[in-house]
Amino acid sequence: MILWKSFGASVCGPGHIATGKPNQDSWASFHHVWGDGIAISDGLGSKPFSNLGSDAACFAVEHAFYACRDQTEIDYGFLFNLIKTNWLSRIAPLDPRDCAATCLFAFRLGDGAIRLGMLGDGLAAAVKADGSIVSLSEDKSQGFSNITVALSPNASAKDWRHLSLPEDECAAVLLCTDGVADDLDNVDGFVKGFIEAHRALAAVSANRHIREMLERWPTPKHSDDKTIACLCRKEVADEQIR
């Protein structure tokens, strides 16, 4: 039998620790009879309530998936608008401009597909059964690297990137905020190595190991908050789940 497990961690970067600011990243996972998924979000550092905005983004994703659970075909425009609507409701009565945050997700609803979506920066990568990797990342070549798209009343479907692949061809999905993604010279190598290092661990052990890794992040841009979440395919013998 195939099950999907999740693990991840989010840590406050040294830059925010030094200034007494909270972690502006968030992550969440969900596992229900109707589906499984993960979401991460990076609150824009210049916004006063971006930590609340990132938390609301993860909440909005799960509730949007729930609303789509019985659909035979996922309308991405509807899904993205639903995430935005849920997010706006969650942050009210705060000004959305003060809560701006990115949003990345991966989910399965039992219809044979794994779906990835991304608004803003970071990385969403799927490891296929044959070992190849497909990914989404923000193209910053046409603008300033410190400007990114985020959830707001004006965000539209065209601001999102997304992809889907057959569930039986997907071994795992990895999501990272830009505090991790921007430091990766070899994205495919990092994704494969990360999955192999954690997929056999129990979730509690994997979460602890990831947190320790992020707290010891060695690369030059380490001052930013950092978040990683993974959704991983696992084959379980029937007697193990009785």
In DSSP terms, which residues pair with 40 in a beta bridge?
Answer: 27, 104
DSSP H helical ranges for 9-112: 14-19, 50-67, 76-91
pLDDT digits (tens, 9 = 90+) for 128-182: 999 999 999 765 544 444 457 899 999 999 999 999 999 999 999 999 999 999 9
- Between CA 133 and CA 227 the distance in angstroms is 20
Helix or strand (DSSP H, E) at 127? strand 123-128
How is domain 2-241 classified at the CATH fold level?
A: Phosphatase 2c; domain 1 (3.60.40)
- Between CA 129 and CA 88 the distance in angstroms is 37
Query: Does the pLDDT value for residue 241 go beyond 80?
Result: no
Question: What is the pTM (predicted TM-score) of this model?
Answer: 0.92
Q: Which residue has the tokens 């954690």?
A: 198
In whole angstroms, how large is the CA radius of gyration of the chain? 17
Within 8 A by CB and 6+ apart from 17, the residues are none
- Between CA 230 and CA 170 the distance in angstroms is 12
Q: Which pLDDT does position 18 carry in this prediction?
A: 85
